[in-house]
Structure 1
Amino acid sequence: MAFEPPERLVRALDETPHDGDAAWRQRLPDLVEEALGACGAVPERVHAPGGRSSVVVLVRLPEDTPAVLKLAPPSAVPEAEALALERWDGWGACRLLDRPAPGTLLLERLRPDVSLRSLAQAKALLEAADTLRKLWVEAPADGVVPTVAERTAAQAACLAEAPELYRPLADAALTARSGLLTDAPENLLLHGAYGQGKVLAGARAPWLAVGPSPVTGERAYDLARLGLDRVEDLVGADTGGSSSRRRLSRLADSLDVDRERLRAWTLFRATYGGVAALRRERRPTGEALLEYAGWL
């Protein structure tokens, strides 16, 4: 198989360089071949556009079993993803089949082109909430998975240097984060990057989560990312502000999450996402997220 890393991954690695990622990218063709050999897999194709933090190769195992080979750079902490998938053991998430090489996961094959984004918004949110509920289990105690405080520390530093135009919003987001971390009510294993696009159709279950960036902390942090799904549609609607607040209220009530804590974490995640997107010159996304944050 002639291998070229997906353009989306290359752009992401260029936008947010980390120690070790450049060397990983240079060795990627060899790493793919080594991983294929280690598990005896025959490649079908590289899934494109794929994610922003990994390469996904659709493969066939001996006895013609379909599977997925996922390779991630050091900055993506694939060890934490593997630990989370092992903890869930297929409950609400794709199943980890093996770890054939460092930084490589062999995963159950789902339907990579069919996500919850294929459903109408109301139905997608309902299915997404039901799947997310299954992932909230007791946090591991080995320290491999970062805490929400650790995950958001660099994001808070980014907001502290936000442009003057967005300073009031950034300050409000930083104040919200500080209060939330001071009085955290629970410590669970969280998906960390949950959204409708991270829930794929499966054979043994209708919908299963993929691509976690796991953290430990409270459910409201995880649910906040789901609240940001299809934000461009909300911003483009005449009733976007009221619709966004109703959406958060429904999500909070359906999963028994405190409404105010969900609003505060959504404010933080939307503001950081908006400022970061503007820095990467992704202006439409950045402006949509910051407008959404302003409604909160």
Structure 2
Amino acid sequence: MAFEPPQRLVRALGETERNGAADWLVKLPELVQQVVDLRELTVERVQAPGGRSSLVVLVRQADGTPAVLKLAPPWARPESERAALAHWGGFGAVQLLDGDGGEGVLLLERLHPEMSVRSLPEAKALLEAAGTLRRLWVEPPAGQVFESVAERTGRQAEAMRTSAAADAEVAPLVDAALAAREELLASAPQARLLHGTFRQSKVLAGERMPWLAVGPDPVVGECAFDLARLVRDRVEDLIASPSGASITRRRVKRLAESLELDQERLRGWTLFRAVESGVRARRVGRPQDAELLLEFAGWL
């Protein structure tokens, strides 16, 4: 299959600083062809701009049923995504069509990629996104080992400390974020299976249900960690608003109350995740994104 991977994916892989990213991209067309031939799929088109960690191809199965073929490198934890989707069983999330698609290969129910919750007015989008997220917060499957919030944020915390040591400008926010993490982990409530990277653009319109989540990077931990990423959705609009800081504080309160979570725990995880994303954006050469995220974090 001759094609050019979407530029968004190419740029994102270039930022991962991982060995093997370039080789995976080079081998991607051959891998797609192998999977398509093995499963007798008909390719319609590559989804663009697509994701930042995987290739998404719109296909049809041998019987004509529309589907989505997703291919992800090992460091994107595709097998963890497969396990989570299988556990959710299509409730609140896209349906896994092939339980054994091969390493890094997922065959998924076709949703409407052009229509995400982000296309709705802000208040409605937050309501629908939060309702979708609530369905995913279930007991982790027995015997399945997912990464914990403590483990994932531990790796992130180390990278943040390194960045702060070399960049005095971000050090105060990093210190505040790391202190918040330590306090939150010292008193974590009951753990649930979490989406891990939830935001409005990860909720697409479907046929079985109006809205379904896609693209999890599942993790086990407290629900406030999952909701924290949603708080900063449309951050560019928040920063552009003269009342962005007060809107953010109201959003934290409203989301925490709607999902019956502790407001201060949600604020703390929102701070940590925003600083982590901002410092990482600064490190990989996305200064505009970094500026937005770190200004947002300063409001918390």
Q: Which residue does the alignment assign to 2:120?
A: 119
Moved more, 38-47 or 152-161: 152-161
Give the TM-score, by structure 2 length. Answer: 0.96
Counterpart code for 2:267: R
Q: Which residue does the alignment assign to 1:10?
A: 10
Q: Which residue does the alignment assign to 1:248?
A: 252
Contact 1:91/1:134 (8 A) holds in 2: yes
- Structure 1 position 290, deviation (Å): 0.6
Q: Which residue does the alignment assign to 1:239?
A: 243
| Cα deviation digits, residues 227-273 of structure 1 (max 9, x gap) | 01001111110111110000010000000011000000000000111
Contact 1:20/1:74 (8 A) holds in 2: no
Counterpart code for 1:80: S
After superposition, residues 44-63 of structure 1 pair within 5 angstroms as: 44-63=44-63
Counterpart code for 1:214: P
The number of equivalent residue pairs is 296
Is the aligned partner of 1:264 residue 2:265? no
Contact 1:38/1:100 (8 A) holds in 2: no
- Structure 1 position 22, deviation (Å): 3.5
Contact 2:14/2:21 (8 A) holds in 1: no
Q: Which residue does the alignment assign to 2:94?
A: 94
Q: 1:205 aligns with which of 197, 203, 209?
A: 209
CA distance in 1, matches of 2:17, 2:37: 29
Counterpart code for 1:259: Q
After superposition, residues 73-222 of structure 1 pair within 5 angstroms as: 73-98=73-98, 99-142=100-143, 144-161=145-162, 162=164, 163-222=167-226
- Structure 1 position 7, deviation (Å): 1.1
Moved more, 17-26 or 42-51: 17-26
Structure 1: segments with no counterpart, 5+ residues: none
**Considering only aligned residues, what root-mean-square deviation do their CA atoms show, in Å?**
1.1
Contact 1:21/1:75 (8 A) holds in 2: no
Is the aligned partner of 1:72 residue 2:76? no
CA distance in 1, matches of 2:145, 2:114: 31
CA distance in 1, matches of 2:15, 2:223: 29
CA distance in 2, matches of 1:180, 1:204: 37
| SS of structure 1 residue aligned to 2:216 | coil
- Structure 1 position 141, deviation (Å): 4.2
| SS of structure 2 residue aligned to 1:80 | helix
- Structure 1 position 18, deviation (Å): 2.2
Structure 2: segments with no counterpart, 5+ residues: none
Give the TM-score, by structure 1 length. Answer: 0.97
CA distance in 2, matches of 1:184, 1:37: 47
